[in-house]
């Protein structure tokens, strides 16, 4: 507020506005200020310490708008011209108008120019309007732009301390977690949601993770160092997962904030977890929920955030995987990706309680995951094979789920090579398929064309034929048709493999510039396809059946068909 014109203060403020009797020109960046040395010397140690020759050297500067007076050029002044204008007004007894937008600039200028009284004024404003509540501190940091001044550290450290103290209090006072509960709409209030008991914690932690990365990192590090965490009752509560889902989906407004939220809670949990098993403290829902969300956020995280998530995710996988049999819920209720599930399984096999009961139960859960992956075509061949082979063969009593998953995966995705298909089918143990599933599998060409499956089918039909009473021509024809179909499949698969080998031989010869060696007796020379005695047995079996049929059957058409084979 301006003083009366007749007073000394009023006159001082007038000459500040008009620039009358100016005896020094202060240049800050592209801005110039026509001022008076007496008020500046009175308020600023910077101007009192200026060498007498400093001003005179610039006296004849042609760029000066006030020739003949000294020029003080303050290059790169923190706070800039806007901050200096307020500081200059203060020298002329004009009380500055502080706001959260300009207080840092004014304080930076006051610090640089050595204006102790102005520093004290800015301090009072900051403690009342910024440092007095965590919401004010968070809002200030959200818009703060660093000035490359000691003021940065002064303001940021105090704001962060306020936020850390508030977070600590919110974590300690939260006794129960839940997502907001819906209410019937109220005409009077218009409210449709009831706040949860954890609303205070939710608000402060969401505001904190929404700050710029440099500030969030400092707050999280401070909380981890202080070993702050949700109390055990909250972590063990049945609502912890719904609370976390609600916070991430409805409260956090960006993927970056979601990443920081999960990262913060996971680091706090890992820091406070027991050093020996059981690590999960019966709160596996909280552990698994954090890993579930972290797994989903990996795909959208920026590179710097991705690196942070990876290191923490590995720790969660280790702790959860080693205690996989101890979790208090079904594993399949969580949406783990294939690679994450594989990491959990490998930790379980290596470090967990791997007795037969535990292996069988976990393997059954993993098979359910594999079925879901096949439904959405969300798994690679290598990971699928690794998930199945991770368990000992005796861990699975039935392969029905695995067969259905592989069949579904191959039907939905036509991009698999023949070799990849065969590598998947070889994972199925036919002896662990139920009778109905085995009969269905035999109608699947991909499954049936495996050499060991064809051999077993032929042997099965041979056993059936041996039990047929003499003279039962109709049943004999039915079994013989099965034998013929299976034999044709066997020969067709062998022929296909032989052609592949011949093609490889041609390519190899072309590389060497030589001649190829013909694939003689390719049916017998094909590597890892059939045993020679198996093919010989098939041939003898068919011929033998034909001879027996010629003697036993009185129907000329049947005898002709079998003899021709």
Give 255-309 pLDDT, tens digit per residue: 999 999 999 999 999 998 887 777 787 788 999 999 999 999 999 999 989 999 9
DSSP 196: P
Cα–Cα distance measured from residue 454 to residue 480, given in angstroms and rounded to the nearest whole number? 15
Which one, of 302, 306, 282, lies nearest residue 294 by Cα? 306
Q: 454 pLDDT exceeds 60?
A: yes
Question: DSSP string covering 315-371, please?
Answer: HHHHHHHHTGGG-SS-GGGS---HHHHHHHHHHHHHHS---HHHHHHHHHHHHHHHH
Q: In the predicted model, is pLDDT for residue 57 greater than 50?
A: no
How far CA 101 is from CA of 1, 63, 235, in Å, comes to 20, 32, 40
Per-residue pLDDT at 190 exceeds 80: no
Mean pLDDT of the chain: 82
Do 1 and 10 form a contact (C-beta atoms < 8 A)?
no
- Predicted TM-score of the model (pTM): 0.77
pLDDT of res. 105 = 96
- Which stretch of 1-10, 116-125, 279-288 has the lowest confidence by average pLDDT? 1-10
What is the mean pLDDT of the segment spanning 25-45? Answer: 93
pLDDT at 556: 37
Cα 314-317-319 angle, rounded to 5 deg: 110
Mean pLDDT to the nearest integer, 474-486? 68
CATH 3.30.710.10 fits 8-57+68-117, yes or no: yes
- Hey, is 120 helix, strand or coil? helix
Q: Could you tell me if 103 and 145 are in contact, meaning their C-beta atoms sit under 8 angstroms apart?
A: no
Cα 514 to Cα 245: distance, rounded to the nearest angstrom = 66
pLDDT at residue 207 greater than cutoff 90: yes
Question: With the C-alpha atoms ordered 342, 347, 350, 353, is the resulting torsion angle positive or negative?
Answer: negative
Return the pLDDT at 473.
63
- Range of lowest pLDDT (42-56, 103-117, 222-236, 546-560): 546-560
CA–CA–CA angle 370, 376, 381 (5° rounding)? 55
Q: Looking at residues 336-359, what average pLDDT do you find?
A: 90
Task: Give tens-digit pLDDT for 528-537.
Answer: 443 444 444 4
pLDDT confidence bin for 472, thresholds 50/70/90: low
Q: Taking residues 182-210, what's their average pLDDT? A: 72
Give me the pLDDT at residue 340, please: 95
pLDDT interval class at 559 (50, 70, 90): very low
pLDDT at 187: 44
Lowest mean pLDDT among 103-112, 381-390, 401-410, 531-540: 531-540
What value does the mean pLDDT take over residues 506-518?
Answer: 60
Does residue 65 carry a pLDDT above 60? no
Length of the chain in residues, anyone? 565
Does the pLDDT at position 342 exceed 80? yes
What is the rounded average pLDDT of the residues 185-210? 74
Lowest pLDDT segment from 56-60, 205-209, 295-299, 467-471: 56-60
pLDDT of 218 > 80? The answer is yes
pLDDT of amino acid 319? 92
């Amino acid at each position: 507020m301006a003083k009366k014109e007749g007073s000394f203060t009023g006159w001082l403020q007038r000459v500040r506005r008009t620039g009358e009797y100016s005896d020094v020109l202060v240049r800050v960046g592209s801005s110039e200020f026509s001022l008076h040395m007496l008020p500046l010397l009175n308020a600023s140690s910077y101007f009192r310490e200026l060498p007498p020759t400093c001003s005179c050297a610039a006296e004849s500067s042609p760029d000066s708008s006030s020739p003949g007076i000294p020029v003080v050029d303050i290059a790169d002044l923190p706070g800039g011209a806007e901050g200096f204008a307020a500081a200059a007004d203060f020298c002329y007894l004009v009380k500055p108008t502080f706001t959260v937008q300009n207080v840092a600039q004014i304080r930076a200028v006051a610090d640089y120019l050595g204006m102790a009284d102005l520093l004290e004024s800015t301090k009072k404003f900051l403690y009342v309007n910024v440092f007095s509540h965590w919401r004010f501190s968070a809002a200030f940091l959200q818009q703060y732009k660093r000035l490359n001044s000691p003021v940065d550290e002064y303001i940021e450290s105090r704001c962060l301390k306020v936020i850390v103290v508030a977070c600590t209090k919110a974590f300690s006072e939260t006794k129960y977690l839940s997502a907001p509960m819906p209410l019937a709409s109220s005409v009077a209030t218009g409210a449709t949601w009831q706040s949860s008991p954890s609303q205070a914690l939710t608000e402060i932690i969401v505001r904190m993770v929404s700050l710029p990365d440099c500030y969030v990192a400092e707050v999280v590090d401070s909380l981890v160092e202080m070993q702050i965490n949700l109390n055990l009752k909250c972590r063990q509560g049945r609502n912890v997962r719904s609370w976390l889902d609600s916070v991430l989906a409805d409260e956090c407004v960006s993927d970056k904030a979601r990443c920081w939220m999960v990262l913060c809670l996971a680091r706090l949990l890992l820091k406070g977890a027991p050093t020996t098993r059981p690590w999960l403290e019966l709160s596996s829902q909280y552990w698994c929920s954090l890993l579930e969300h972290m797994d989903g956020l990996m795909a959208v995280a920026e590179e710097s955030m991705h690196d942070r998530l990876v290191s923490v995710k590995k720790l969660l996988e280790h702790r959860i995987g080693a205690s996989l049999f101890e979790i208090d819920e079904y594993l399949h209720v969580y949406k783990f990706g294939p690679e994450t599930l594989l990491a959990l399984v490998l930790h379980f096999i290596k470090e967990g309680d791997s007795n037969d009961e535990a292996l069988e139960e976990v393997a059954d859960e993993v098979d359910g995951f594999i079925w879901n992956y096949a439904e959405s075509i969300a798994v690679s061949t290598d990971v699928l094979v690794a998930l199945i082979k991770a368990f000992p063969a005796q861990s699975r009593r039935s392969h029905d789920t695995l067969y259905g998953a592989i069949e579904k995966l191959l039907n939905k995705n036509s991009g698999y090579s023949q070799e990849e298909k065969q590598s998947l089918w070889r994972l199925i143990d036919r002896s662990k398929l139920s009778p109905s599933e085995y009969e269905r599998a035999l109608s699947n060409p991909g499954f049936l064309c495996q050499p060991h499956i064809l051999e077993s089918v032929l042997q099965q039909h041979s056993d059936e034929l041996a039990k047929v009473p003499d003279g039962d021509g109709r049943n004999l024809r039915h079994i013989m048709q099965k034998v013929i179909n299976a034999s044709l499949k066997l020969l067709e698969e062998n022929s296909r493999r032989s052609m592949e080998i011949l093609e490889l031989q041609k390519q190899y010869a072309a590389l060497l510039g030589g001649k190829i060696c013909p694939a003689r007796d390719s049916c017998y020379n094909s590597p890892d396809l059939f045993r020679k005695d198996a093919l010989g047995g098939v041939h003898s079996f068919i011929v033998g059946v034909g001879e027996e049929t010629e003697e036993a059957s009185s129907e000329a058409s049947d005898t002709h068909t079998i003899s021709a084979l």
